Homo-oligomer: A and B are copies of this chain.
Amino acid sequence: MIIQLEPKISEQAKAKLLEKINETGFKTTEVRTQFRHCLVGTGSKEFDIRTLGNLPGVADIHRVSDPFKLVSRKWRVEDTLIDLGDGVTLCRGDLAMMAGPCSIESEEQVFSTINHLKANGLRIMRGGVFKPRSSPYSFRGMGLDGLKMWSALAREHGIKIISEVMHTEQIEAMYPYVDIFQVGARNAQNFNLLDALGGVDKPVMLKRGMSGTIEELLQAAEYVFSNGNEKIILCERGIRTYETASRNTFDINAIPILKDKSHLPVVADPSHGIGIRSYVAAVALAAVMAGADGVIVEVHESPEKAASDGAQTLDFEEAGRLYGRMRAAVALRDA
């Protein structure tokens, strides 16, 4: 149950409302986001929600039986639009393509990637400066200095930045330099990180866990939303299965299911989803056709020289061709 409150609800009216809800046996969480003030009620008793809907201070009330509430399409039918400023948006019908290297490596690399993006009319660059690594002995990224360098160049050229945040302590430091915070698959259920990102007013892209369920992804989004941040993007990046012919099994089913269950935009990550360069384009096109609102792709001027994951990274020419094809696919899909 979601109870939308009027902006100027009096303390008295709120107390009265909470008292009424209390009688129904529902527990409530008060949520204040960039755009709204509401109460989320969880419980299982049946009652006539109109008895609450008529109380002073209540703007609207919705039944939402899903285990996730605020991110559900059951109460918000229209698609959520993510506005990154300067005319860059992520939403249905306007395919956002985020491209860039696995890791930020050097100024030259950033510069050539930005040029590639601009040549293809793209506005969002991906790249890691804090890299989650299975082994403690692997390169863990250029860190904050790398991010500052990248950000300076990107701003100069009107490019927005998405980069992974691994830890609550990084949020404040990264804040001035990123446009979208990315939460990686390994932190998909790092609830403290999700809570903290709820306190930020920049968009957050949540990757599905290595073997996370679709419901768990939506509940992770609920963490961010209920802590105050509505700007959430969902990302399908493949799940772990027994199949070894590909790095992960890209769950194409997740695309239409997420689009149906939630009002949030859905992005596909075909690079990790299949993990083999020559097949990335096929998966990207499939994801778009199935309904993805955006795609995040690993691109590098010379994939064979990339600091990491070159095996799944497209070169500029391959990426350029793919962008064109994806745009055509969106046009066909939404016709």
Most buried by B among A134, A244, A254, A332: A134
> Could you tell me the distance between the alpha carbons of A250 and B257 in the complex, rounded to whole angstroms?
13
| Interface assignment of A291: CB less than 8 Å from any CB of chain B | yes
Q: Name the B residues within 8 Å of A52 (CB-CB).
A: none
| Interface assignment of A87: CB less than 8 Å from any CB of chain B | no
A-side residues, CB < 8 A to B, are 27, 29, 40, 42, 67-69, 132-137, 166-169, 186-187, 189-192, 195, 209-216, 219, 222-223, 226-227, 239-246, 249-257, 260, 273-274, 276, 278-279, 282-283, 285-291, 325, 328-329, 332-333, 335
> Could you tell me the distance between the alpha carbons of A285 and B287 in the complex, rounded to whole angstroms?
9
Q: Name the B residues within 8 Å of A283 (CB-CB).
A: 252-253, 256, 290
The 10 closest A-B pairs by CB, nearest first: A211-B211, A186-B189, A256-B282, A286-B286, A286-B290, A252-B252, A167-B192, A289-B289, A246-B253, A256-B279
Taken together, the copies of this chain in the complex come to 4
Q: Name the B residues within 8 Å of A250 (CB-CB).
A: 251-253
A-B contact pairs, 13 of them (CB 8 A): A29-B136, A29-B137, A134-B219, A136-B226, A214-B245, A239-B241, A240-B242, A256-B274, A256-B279, A257-B276, A286-B287, A288-B289, A289-B289
- With beta carbons under 8 angstroms apart, the residue of B241, B274, B288, B332 that contacts A241 is B241
> Could you tell me the distance between the alpha carbons of A213 and B246 in the complex, rounded to whole angstroms?
10
Smallest beta-carbon distance A299→chain B, Å: 19
Smallest beta-carbon distance A240→chain B, Å: 5
Contact flag A137-B27 (CB < 8 Å), given A249-B241, A256-B279, A285-B333: yes
